[in-house]
Structure formats: C-alpha cells, structure tokens
Amino acid sequence: MVFSSILFLCLFMPVVFGLYYLCPAKCRNIILLISSLIFYAWGEPRYILIMVFSTVFDYTNGRLIEYYKAKNSIKMQKAVLIVSVAGNLGILCFFKYTDFLIKSINGLFDTQFGILGIALPIGISFYTFQTMSYTIDVYKGRVEAQHNILDFGMYVCMFPQLIAGPIVRYEHVSKEIHNRKLSSEDIASGIQLFIIGLGKKVILANQIGALWDSISAMNISKLSVAGAWLGAVAYTFQIYFDFSGYSDMAIGMGKMLGFNFPKNFDYPYISKSITEFWRRWHITLGQWFREYVYIPLGGNRRGLERQIFNLLIVWALTGLWHGAGWNFVIWGLYFFVILMIEKLFLLEKFEKLPNVFSHVYALVLIVVGWVIFACDDFGKLGNYLKALIGVGVPIINDVAVYDLYTHIPLLIILIAASTMLPVKVCKFIKEKLMCKYNVLAGGRGEQLFFWCKGIYCIIILLISTALLVSGTYNPFLYFRF
C-alpha cells in the first residue's frame, strides 16, 4: 500500500485516523502499531517478520546496553553494540545485496553461480537505519533505552515514514512517544502538508515521469541532444517531486498524529554548488551518514588525506544505500569527486561569480548525476551520456520539438514549484489580505487567508484523486531503497 493510492486515501487513512482520534490517549500507540503492521503486511506479508525481528532485536540490545551500563561493564556494552550493528547490517546486506554480489562475481570471474532471486523488502533501508541508530544512541548515552516493547515497535513500524522516510532517529521523537499533544492547528497544518505532498507526487512527479519513461525507452536513433536533455530534466523533476512529495505526506501525517518529523528537503534545486545541494537534498540521510559513519571514522580531525578517505567511504555507502547496482556506486563516487574538487579548489571562487553561473554549474552536474542514477544498464547509460554531448545524434529532431512543445506548461510549473516562488506568493497574498481586511473589515484577513489555503488544498486533492481514479501513471520509486 502506498500513500498515492485510492485504497490508502479513501479507506486506510480515514479509518486509522478516525480510530486514533476517538480512542483514549493511552491507547493511541497500540492503534498506531497495529495499523502500521497492517499497512506493511498489505503489500509485504512475507517480510513483516523481518521488521518484527529487527524491532525485537534492537529493543533487546537497547535493554542489554542499559543493563551493562548499570554494571559499569564497558566491554559488554561494546559487545552488544557490535552484535547490534553486525546483525542489522547483515540483514540489510543479505536481502539487498546478495544477488548483486553474485552477479558481480559472475561478471568479473565468468562464473555461473545461481542468483537467489531474493525480493527486496520495501523500506528495509529506512527502518534498519532507524533501529541501528537507536542502539548506537543508547550506547552513547544520547537517549534512554525504551522499556515498553510495544512503544518501541510503534516507533520502528510507524507507517507514515516507514517506506520512504524521512529517516526519523529515536532521539527525534523519544519525548513524543509518551507525551504528545494534538492541537487543531497542528492537525490542520498536517492535512495541508499531506495534500501538498500528494499533489507533488500525483500532479507533478507522475506527469513529468511519463515523459522520462518515454524518452529513456527510445532507440538511440530517435534521440537528439535536445531530447536527451529534456528527458534528463524530466527525471530530475520526477525524482524530486516524488521523493519530496512522499516526505511532505509523511511529515504531514506525523503532525496529524502529534509527532514532529525532521525536514527532509530544502529546495535543493536552488543550490549554487553540489556542496549546497547535498545540504538540501535528503537531509536526514546526510545527517545519518555524518553522525554514524563520517564522524566515527574521524571526520576532518585527522588531516586532509584521512578526511578524503572518510568521505570516499561515506559516498560509496551513500550510493549503495540507494540501490544494489554499480550505477548507484558510480553515482555516489561521482558526487564524491565533485565535492572534493569543490572543497579543494572551487568553493571560494564561487563566491566571486554571479549567482546565475553557479546555479547553471550546479544544475548541469545534478542533472547528469540523475541520469547515472536512473540508468542501471551500462550500455543504455553510455548511449544516453553520449546523446547528452551530441555523439552520434542530431542537435534536435521532430520528436524533441514535439515533446518540448507539449510539455512547456508543465515544465514552467515544475520550475516554479522547485523554487521558493510559491512560498513568496503565499506570503505576499497573506500580507495583502492582512493589510486590507484587518484594517477595513475588523480583522478578517487571517480568516480569509485560512479559507484561501483551504480552497487551494481542496482543489489539489480533487485533481489528485481524479488522476488516481483514472488509473494514470503512478510509479513507486522506492522499491530499490
């Protein structure tokens, strides 16, 4: 079950939230745990046991670390931590990377080992990172061990952020697990954010994603430089609005439940460098790798050479986290090389350049990066990269002209929506209403702005629902994560 489905919107969500609001506060964690297990089992009934095992495993590890802390046994605390990290990574690697490793060995040594055909449990990368960070934080004394296994299970299995993030570390919500308050303002804000995220996914990402699918499936003989760049830009918009849309829906539902999940995107396409881009893109993943990989490896405390090595490890792992394929590893290393070049030579020079040059530089590299990310076949990737630079293809052809002409309105909307322009327009409208009606109409400006936002959200919800009912293109990009 995914958020952008009629089943979720018209059945699961109303029933779960209705029960959640009607039941006493002390029962809400149980309601949320049961509904989350149903949500996951709906699409992955075979693999729910893996998530349950991870929950029990790290709950036990947290309690054991707490026990050995009381005994002042540092050796046993470390032993439990090692078991926790090894167990979590072992489960993740087995299900996500076993077949990838076998295929790589067969390709490298011309062997014929049979692949196991292991299906990837949806969301395993997200909940494994969450449970693993919990035991590490208990070991470091950042959080206290959770004593109620049902409450801990609710944290791990919580359906809003289970399959597509953001990565919610235990310390983010530890206080809210037992003591959270629901207010009408938070619920209204959460509903609005959920609907905006749904619109990003269904109205924007799905529509431009169909263009990428069409162009990427073309024979090389039908491609042109303009068509290749149009397809790459289409995928650049698709993955942003798809991923940030899911994050918005998750954060919105969190607010509706009384939780404050961390922000995951901050207008990454307005960045003026790749360094800035990765501060704005998938923020919770970047923070996770920084906190649990980069800093433990030594960070920048052991000299430049060691820092470069640490960053190499982080970016190789970042690529692998996104999928079991060499294109993901290359994608991670691609950004590692650019980040190192920026760090060593370019960042100070960017400050002297006009913003437009920095923006263009960053966007070109980002778009090329997404092509590497999207193409898991090296032959296809090579042909597409050649098309981007004009090797063996014309500059433009009739197919590219048609695709561009028919998608100009959508592209304009996507460009505007990926910047802070909508926020500025919203702020401008609010200021005008407050200025005019608060003075002349007894303070009705705030009320009018509330209704304007409400109508806007209703329109987005109706359009999104209509597109889903019509059975239009609605991919799920996170099966590889």
Does position 255 have pLDDT exceeding 90, yes or no?
yes
**22 lies in a domain?**
no
State whether 102 and 136 are in the same domain. yes
**pLDDT tens sequence across 71-81:** 999 999 999 99
- Residue 38: give the domain boundaries: 27-180
Q: Is 408 exposed, middle or buried (0-12, 13-18, 19+ CB in 10 A)?
A: exposed
CA atoms within 13 A on the CB side of 33: 18
Rounded CA gap, 417 and 411, in Å?
A: 10
Helices 398-417 and 206-216 pack at an angle, to 10 degrees, of: 150
Q: Exactly one of 172, 282, 322, 407 is catalytic; which is it?
A: 322
Does position 476 have pLDDT exceeding 70, yes or no?
no
State whether 247 and 305 are in the same domain. no
**10 lies in a domain?**
no
**331 lies in a domain?**
yes
* Residue position matching structure tokens 């906190």: 291
Among 388, 421, 436, the domain-final residue is 388
Does position 441 have pLDDT exceeding 60, yes or no?
no
**272 lies in a domain?**
no
Does position 116 have pLDDT exceeding 90, yes or no?
no
Higher pLDDT, 89 or 122: 89
State whether 141 and 188 are in the same domain. no
The tokens for 401 are: 């002209």
State whether 37 and 107 are in the same domain. yes
Question: E strands of 312-413, at which residues?
Answer: none
CA angle centred on 361, ends 355 and 363, rounded to 5°: 100
Helices 184-199 and 225-257 pack at an angle, to 10 degrees, of: 160
Does position 480 have pLDDT exceeding 90, yes or no?
no
State whether 37 and 150 are in the same domain. yes
Rounded CA gap, 241 and 263, in Å?
A: 15
**pLDDT tens sequence across 131-166:** 999 999 999 999 999 999 999 999 999 999 888 879
Lowest mean pLDDT among 108-112, 314-318, 329-333: 108-112
Q: How far does the chain reach from its first CA to its final CA, in angstroms? A: 16
Secondary structure string (H, E, C) spanning 90-102:
HHHHHHHHHHHHH
**pLDDT tens sequence across 181-218:** 888 889 999 999 999 999 999 999 999 999 999 999 88
State whether 232 and 296 are in the same domain. no
Does position 446 have pLDDT exceeding 90, yes or no?
no
pLDDT for position 472: 67
**360 lies in a domain?**
yes
Among 180, 210, 229, the domain-final residue is 180
Higher pLDDT, 444 or 196: 196
pLDDT for position 432: 78
Q: How far is CA 70 from CA 81, 92, 128, 172, in A?
A: 16, 31, 27, 25
**18 lies in a domain?**
no
Does position 481 have pLDDT exceeding 90, yes or no?
no
pLDDT for position 340: 93
Cβ(278)–Cβ(264) below 8 Å: no
pLDDT for position 239: 95
Does position 98 have pLDDT exceeding 70, yes or no?
yes
- φ, ψ of residue 472 to 5 degrees: the values are -70, 175
State whether 67 and 165 are in the same domain. yes
Does position 478 have pLDDT exceeding 80, yes or no?
no
State whether 245 and 206 are in the same domain. yes
pLDDT for position 194: 96
C-alpha R_g of the chain: 24
pLDDT for position 269: 96
Among 180, 215, 245, the domain-final residue is 180
**16 lies in a domain?**
no
Does position 448 have pLDDT exceeding 90, yes or no?
no
Percent of the chain with pLDDT over 70: 96
**Which band of pLDDT confidence, cut at 50, 70 and 90, is reported for residue 4?**
confident
State whether 62 and 160 are in the same domain. yes
State whether 467 and 423 are in the same domain. yes
Sequence-separated (6 or more) residues with CB below 8 Å from residue 67 = none
Average pLDDT over residues 229-240: 96
Percent of the chain with pLDDT over 90: 68
Q: Report the candidate in 171, 197, 223 with the shortest Cα–Cα distance to residue 397.
A: 223
Q: How many domains does the chain have?
A: 3
Rounded CA gap, 108 and 211, in Å?
A: 35
Q: Is 322 a catalytic residue?
A: yes
State whether 132 and 39 are in the same domain. yes
Task: Give the mean pLDDT of the chain.
Answer: 90
Average pLDDT over residues 400-418: 95
Cβ(463)–Cβ(203) below 8 Å: yes
Q: Report the candidate in 311, 306, 308 with the shortest Cα–Cα distance to residue 293.
A: 311
**Which band of pLDDT confidence, cut at 50, 70 and 90, is reported for residue 437?**
low
CA angle centred on 186, ends 131 and 158, rounded to 5°: 20
pLDDT for position 438: 60
pTM recorded for the entire structure: 0.93
Average pLDDT over residues 437-453: 68
